[in-house]
Structure 1
Amino acid sequence: MMADALLGCIADDFTGATDLANMLVRGGMRTVQTIGVPEVDARIEADAIVVALKSRTIPAADAVRQSLDALQWLRAQGCRQFVFKYCSTFDSTDEGNIGPVADALLDALGSDFTIACSAFPETGRTIFRGNLFVGDVLLSESGMEHHPLTPMTDPNLVRVLQRQTQSKVGLIRYDAIAKGADAVRARIGELKRDGVRLAIADAISDADLHTLGEACRDLPLITGGSGIALGLPQNFRATGLLAHAEHAADLPGIEGKAVVLAGSASKATNAQVAQWRASKPSLRIDPLALARGEPVVDEAVEFARNQTALIYATTSPDEVKAVQKELGVERAGQLVEDALASIARRLRDHGVTKFVVAGGETSGAVVQALGVRSLRIGPQIDPGVPATQSIGADDDTHTQAPLALALKSGNFGATDFFEKALNALNAPKAL
C-alpha cells in the first residue's frame, strides 16, 4: 500500500521549488516536484511533494487561487504539514503576493499563526532585527532594488509584509531564537496573545533554522525561503514517521546533448554568463530583434543544435530598463520567455536532453514548453540548486524519455555554475 506524503509544499516559482526540494532531499526525504497542480486522481510516492507554481508576479487574487488549489491537492495526498515557499530575497510588491497567499492558506487550514522566514545563510541571506541582508549589505543595497518586476527597496521585512496584509505582523527576534526552540515557542505564544498572525523570524545561521523548524513542528503552515526546510525532516524522524533515505538523491545517467539557457538579469547570472562567454560558444537573444520579427529563434537553434552553447538574454539592469521603456515591462519579459521556451522545445527535437536554465521565470517557461509534469530531485550542484530529472516528460505530440535539468534562480550559483551544472547532469552519480 502506498504511504501518504508527510510534507506538502507550495512554491511561487519553479527554481524556488527546486531549491526547496533540494533542501528536503539533503535532509533524507524522498522528494518529488510537480509542475503546477497535477490531476486530482494523481498519486505520488514520496516523503515530500513540492508543487511549483508560477505565481510570484501574477495578480494576488490569481496567486491565492492557484495556491489554494495546490493546498487542496496536497491535502488529498495525506500531507500533515505545509510550507509556502517564496524567494530568499522576499520578492514581492506592496500589493502581494506573500501576504495574501499566507493569509488564504492560514484560513483554509483553520490556523491562527505562522512564521515568515526567508533566511538562507548558505547563500548569504540572513535576517536580523527583521532586516534582510544579502551578504554584508541590506537587501535594498544588494542589486534587488533594481529588479525589473519586484524591486526591493525596503530591507525591513516586518514593514514589507505589513503593507501586504490586514493581519497583524510581528517579529521573533534573534534574542529568543538564540535561547532555543522552547524560547521561540514562548515568543510565539506572546505574539498570538497580542493578536499577531504573521511573524518575521530572524535567522543568521543554519542552527537558527533548525531551531525554528523544531519550534514550529506543530504549526499547520510554515512560510519562508528554502532554508526553513532545514529543520523539518527531523521533526518527522523524531516521531517515527520518517526513516532517513540514504539514497534519496540518486539519479541515473542520461545520454544526449546539452544546452545552457539564461534569461535572468541578476548580478549572479551576469557573472556566470561572462565567465562562460570568455571561452565557450554563446549567442545573445535581443528582445528588440524579437519584437521586429527577426528570425532570432531559428538562428539560436541552428547555433546550438550541434554544440554545447549558451543562449542568453541576460544583460545589465540599465539595458533591461531601456528595453522595457521601448517595449513595455510585460511585453519585453514575455518575448524573451517565449523565445527561450521555443528554443528549448526545438533543441529537444534535435536530441538535446540536458538543460541548464538560469532564472525563475525562464525556468518556468522552459519546463512548460518541454512538457515536463514532475521532477525527481537529485544531488546538489551549488547551494540551492540540485540536479533533477523529469518524470514522464510529455506534451501533445511527444512522450519523452527523461530529461536532465538544472533550474537555477537568477541570484544563485557560483561564477562557474554553468560548467558545474553540465558536469552534474552528465554524471549525476559522481556528485
Structure 2
Amino acid sequence: MANRCTYIPRIMLPRKGIDLSAWAVIACDQYTSQPDYWAETDRIVGDAPSTLRLTLPEVYLEDADVAARTARIHQTMRQYLDNGMLETLPAGMILTERWSGGAHPRRGLVLAVDLETYDYQPGSASLVRPTEKTVVERIPPRLKVRQGASIELPHIMLLIDDPDRAIIEPLFAQTGSLEKVYDTDLMQGGGHITGWFLPAGAATEAVEAGFDKLSDRAVFNRKYGCTDAQALLPFAVGDGNHSMATAKAYWEEVKQGLSAAEQADHPARFVLAEVVNIHDESILIEPVHRVLFGVEPDELLDGLTDFYQSAGCKAYLADAPVENAHCYPLLAPGKAGVLVVEAPKWAIPVATLQTGLDAYLAQHPSVKIDYIHGEDVTRSLAAQPGNVGLLLPDIAKNDLFRGVVFDGVLPRKTFSMGEAHEKRYYMEAKAIVR
C-alpha cells in the first residue's frame, strides 16, 4: 500500500543463556549529566555481553576518546555477530510489556519503519513526523557511531492515536500461544520487561491493516476536524527522534550508491522502533509549566498582549478562565489572574503560549525561562520577587496529534512522557548492512 510506513523485520536477540539483565541497558540519551549512573552500569555489566558495549552513552560524547570508543563499538558488533552472540529470528514483530513502577505496564510492538516515510525537516508533510523540533546539530556526532556500524539497537518510540485500542491491545489476548523471547528484570530501577514473538502472518497483517486505517483520509479528517489541506499523520515520534533523524541521515548517505532495486529492501532503509498507542494507560501526558525570571509582571503582560493582538487575537488578564479561549493562570508576587487569549491562531494552548513567550524573550534577553514539572514547584518559584509563573492546562492525548497536524512540530517542552528510568532499554537489534 502506498501509505504504508511499517515493515516486518528480522529481529536479532541475544542467544539463549545470556544474562538479559546485564544485556539490556537504558537509552544512551538518558542520565547525560550523571556519569555516576553510567559508571555503575559499567560495574554491573562487567565482562558480560551487553548493549552497553554496542552503544555510546551521550555522557561521553564530548570526551577526548570518543573516536576510540566508537571504534570499539564497531569491533564489538562484529564480534557478537561472528561468535553467535546474536541470533536472528524469522520475519516478525515483538509484542512487549514493560513494568516500570506505575499502575499500568507500557504495551508496545517492536517493528521496523520505512525511513522513506519519515522527514524531520521543518514543514515536513511526511507520514512519520517528530512531535518536537529536531536539533540538526545533534546529528553529526551520532552519525559517526552509525557509520561503520553493522547493527542498530532501537530506543525510538512511535506513537499512534488509537482511542478504540483496536490495533495493539487485542494482541495481548494471544500471548499464551506466542513464544516468549525475553522476560527479565532491568538494571538500575528499570523495572521488568517481557517480549513475545509475533511471526509474520495473519496477526501481523491485521496489525498493518489497522495502521492503514490511521491513514484513511475520511477517518483522519473526522478525527481531527481537518480538511485535505492538512497532511496525514498516522505515526508521531514520541521519543528517540534524534536517533531516528540520525538513521535517516545515514540512509540518505547509503542510498546514493544504490540502484532503485537495491534501495527497495536495503536494511539501512528501515529502522527498529517500538510503536505505542498514546491512549495506553501507562502513558501519562503531563503539562510542563513556565516560570520567567527577572521580569516585571505588568511588563510581561503588556508584551504578550501586544504580541497576540498583532497576531489577530485578543489577549487580557481576567479573574477566571474564559470558555473557548486559551487560558493560563498567572502567578507573581502581588499579581494574580488568568492570561486569556481569545481567537487563538494556534491549535493547542502550549503552542499559543510558547510562541508569545519566544517573541517576548527575543526582545528581552536578560529575562530567563525555565520549564517546570509540577504545579507546586511552579507556585513556589513564582512567589519569589522578580519571577512570574504561567500554568499550562492538562493536555488531552489526542491534542498532541492535533497540534502536530495543525501547527507543525510542537514547541519544546510541550509535555512530559515518563521519567528517565521509564525510557526504553536496548534489547532487540537489526542489521543495517547487507
Q: TM-score range by the shorter chain?
A: under 0.3
TM-score, normalised by the number of residues in structure 2: 0.26
Higher strand proportion (structure 1 or 2) = 2
TM-score, normalised by the number of residues in structure 1: 0.26
Q: Which structure has the bigger radius of gyration? A: 2
